[in-house]
Structure 1
Amino acid sequence: MDQIKWGIIGCGNVTEVKSGPAFNKVVNSSLVAVMRRDGTLAADYAKRHGVPRWYDQVDDLINDPEVNAIYIATPPDVHEAYTEKALRAGKPVYVEKPMARNAAECARMFEVSRQTEVPLFVAYYRRTLPYFVKLKELVDSQVIGDIRFVDITLQWQPYDEEVGADAKPRWRVDPEISGGGHFHDLASHQFDLLEYILGPIKSAQGISRNQAGLYKADDITMANFEFESGALGKGSWCYTVDKAQREDAATIIGSKGRIDFSFFEKFDIRLETASGSQTFTIPYPEHVQQPLIDLIVKDLRGEGKCPSTGASGMRANMILDWITA
């Protein structure tokens, strides 16, 4: 491909700043069409973002001859169906995370990509953010020695942040739409990144429960996991705590030191070794998906390789399935 001309299926909140504007800021890339089931909202998005065309039907966007790559930014329940349609139309797909509701859906998406030989990418953009690139650099340098274990704590999302105007819980806590709850939405980012930095996880198990009964999805998860390298990990995720208890903390312990960092909220990486401590402050870019989109465009043009593919993306869902089984 010479110029990558994108169409977005599902131009909701995630596309307003995180991803949408980046398609026009990456070299050899442009956003030429958007689709949303509510045509009024699709038209409004197109007008505000200077997008030439809008649709309210998925097939119309996929069959637009000017669109040669598609970004699927819908909830996970339709990721599989829309991905297959686009891939069979010969158009590369960039799909939001989690890749689908479960590993079985992901595997079918990957198989269609393999059969059609049309590329499939997943929006695990932390793999390319400068903050996490630095984290991987520190681990790879072995400044903290051999990795012994990883510890994750995430206490987040009070219920009042997930209630819509109609007093009903939003789609992220409806397992029929999202595949799970906040654990599936957020821990998918965490496990994808851990595998990218520390290598494959070979086993994982956990306990997942609905303690507060505020919505259908589980709201607390405890897990243990083991990497193929022999390093171990544990984590806890709770989404029904008071705002004052909000916590996003992670630690990688090595034989010669430790690294403390945050997956979501903070911009500091703290390194501690026998030589002392050092803090690296690396803010996120304005459009957090732009570095990954840039690599996808380069990949499609034969100028580089994107590190987040269908093959890597489905592993995050597999780990979530292991833990919540």
Structure 2
Amino acid sequence: MTKPFLWGIIGPGRIAHRFAQALAHSGCGNLHAVASRNQDRARSFAQQYNAAVYYDNYQQMIADPEIDGIYIATPHNFHFDAAKRCLEAGKPVLCEKPLTVNTAQTQRLIELAQQHQTFLMEALWTRMLPVYQQVRQWLDSNAIGDVKLVQSNFGFCIDRNQEDRLLNPELAGGVLLDMGVYNLSMSDWVYGRGPISTQVTGMIGDTGVDELMAVNLDFGHGQFGQFTCNFLCKTDNHLTIYGSKGHIRVDQMFWDTGRAKLVVEQQPDVEFDQPYDASGFEYQIMEAERCIRAGWLESPEIPHATTLRTVEAIDRLRTLVGLPK
């Protein structure tokens, strides 16, 4: 019988709860350890999800020989340091998106993964959802003809707490790193490559972070992308893929849904609707476990090259609106 895969979590914040809930899925491993600089938070999280141990020191948890992989769920600006420590210790990493806050940091982590022959994957969980496996089947079967345009929105009116991570430049706040990474990554997923040129209109708020981005992407070969992301208002948060014969519309909250519709001229609409087995994070967890058990350094579903292309696009867009890399 295969030994259960044992996970450690660095940063038991809001999104880590969803990861821990996904481990209830029968195809996933178990939560073994939790680490936080706040011992009470680590203890509380460990008790809630029946983790065997908790730590108030990241390095101690990284050194735990029982752990098979580590999920990093800290704010963006802490990803690089935590992932670097894990890779240098030979501990496989599944790190929340964006993997890092700039291209240089991402390149360094990829180098470390190769140097230490250790798995590294950005937790862009949306790509692994069942709805996108169905969308891929529609695309591969040429159901909508030649793809010409991908459009998406990700927008909400957020709480204006200037100390919150989203609005705090010291915590790598801003809408592009927090929300726009989904728009960019899923556009890349459709075309299988990054944009050759970008245009952007953006708004920088009072705290110095980007609060709205309206972006045009040219992927070459007559294929384009458009998206908006913002902290100012709730938008129609669909993702739509337009082709020469029809379109595919992924439902509201395109990054977190089980519903999509195929619309082709002179044919009945085809709807797909599949609820998650657990929290929705279980699909990326199973993929990470599969790759780690196989001894791979990256996932073929979310390879290093994809992560690198996305952060390169983020750097370009941030530069165009006057933000530092």
Select which of 278, 291, 294 maps to 1:302: 294
Instruction: Give the letter for the 1:191 counterpart.
Output: L
Contact 2:175 2:212 in 1 (8 A): no
Q: 1:258 maps to what in 2? A: 247
Q: Percent identity?
A: 26
Q: Deviations over 1:33-91 (max 9, x none)?
A: 10111101110111111001001111111111222321111011111111111111111
Question: By how many angstroms is 1:28 displaced?
Answer: 6.8
Instruction: Give the letter for the 1:157 counterpart.
Output: F
2:34 equivalent to 1:34: yes
Contact 1:87 1:93 in 2 (8 A): yes
CA–CA distance in structure 2, aligned partners of residues 239 and 204 of structure 1: 25
CA–CA distance in structure 2, aligned partners of residues 76 and 124 of structure 1: 13
Q: 1:280 maps to what in 2? A: 272
CA–CA distance in structure 1, aligned partners of residues 285 and 305 of structure 2: 17
CA–CA distance in structure 2, aligned partners of residues 200 and 269 of structure 1: 23
Question: By how many angstroms is 1:203 displaced?
Answer: 2.0
Contact 1:110 1:120 in 2 (8 A): yes
Contact 1:145 1:256 in 2 (8 A): yes
Select which of 275, 278, 282 maps to 1:290: 282
Contact 2:194 2:309 in 1 (8 A): no
CA–CA distance in structure 1, aligned partners of residues 31 and 256 of structure 2: 29
Instruction: Give the letter for the 1:294 counterpart.
Output: M
In terms of mean alpha carbon deviation, does 273-282 or 41-50 score higher? 273-282
Q: 1:9 maps to what in 2? A: 10
CA–CA distance in structure 2, aligned partners of residues 257 and 66 of structure 1: 51
Contiguous gaps of at least 5 residues in structure 2: 320-325
RMSD: 2.3
Q: 2:312 maps to what in 1? A: 318
CA–CA distance in structure 1, aligned partners of residues 257 and 300 of structure 2: 25
Q: 1:221 maps to what in 2? A: 213
In terms of mean alpha carbon deviation, does 274-283 or 87-96 score higher? 274-283
Question: By how many angstroms is 1:157 displaced?
Answer: 2.3
Equivalent position SS for 2:195: strand
Q: 1:228 to 1:5 in 2, by over 3 A?
A: farther
CA–CA distance in structure 2, aligned partners of residues 14 and 145 of structure 1: 37
CA–CA distance in structure 2, aligned partners of residues 292 and 159 of structure 1: 27
Q: Deviations over 1:212-248 (max 9, x none)?
A: x35331111121112255411122223212xxx5320
2:239 equivalent to 1:246: no
CA–CA distance in structure 2, aligned partners of residues 108 and 233 of structure 1: 29
Q: Deviations over 1:228-272 (max 9, x none)?
A: 55411122223212xxx5320222111111112242365432222
CA–CA distance in structure 2, aligned partners of residues 269 and 28 of structure 1: 26
Q: 2:186 maps to what in 1? A: 193
Contact 1:99 1:314 in 2 (8 A): no
Contact 1:205 1:324 in 2 (8 A): no
Q: 1:151 maps to what in 2? A: 151
Equivalent position SS for 1:215: coil
Question: By how many angstroms is 1:202 displaced?
Answer: 3.1
Contact 1:200 1:228 in 2 (8 A): no
Contact 1:159 1:214 in 2 (8 A): no
Q: 1:270 maps to what in 2? A: 261
Equivalent position SS for 2:23: helix
Contact 1:151 1:251 in 2 (8 A): yes
TM-score, normalisation: structure 1: 0.88
Contact 1:207 1:324 in 2 (8 A): no
Instruction: Give the letter for the 1:251 counterpart.
Output: T
Contact 1:26 1:293 in 2 (8 A): no
Q: 1:123 to 1:231 in 2, by over 3 A?
A: same
TM-score, normalisation: structure 2: 0.88
Equivalent position SS for 2:60: helix
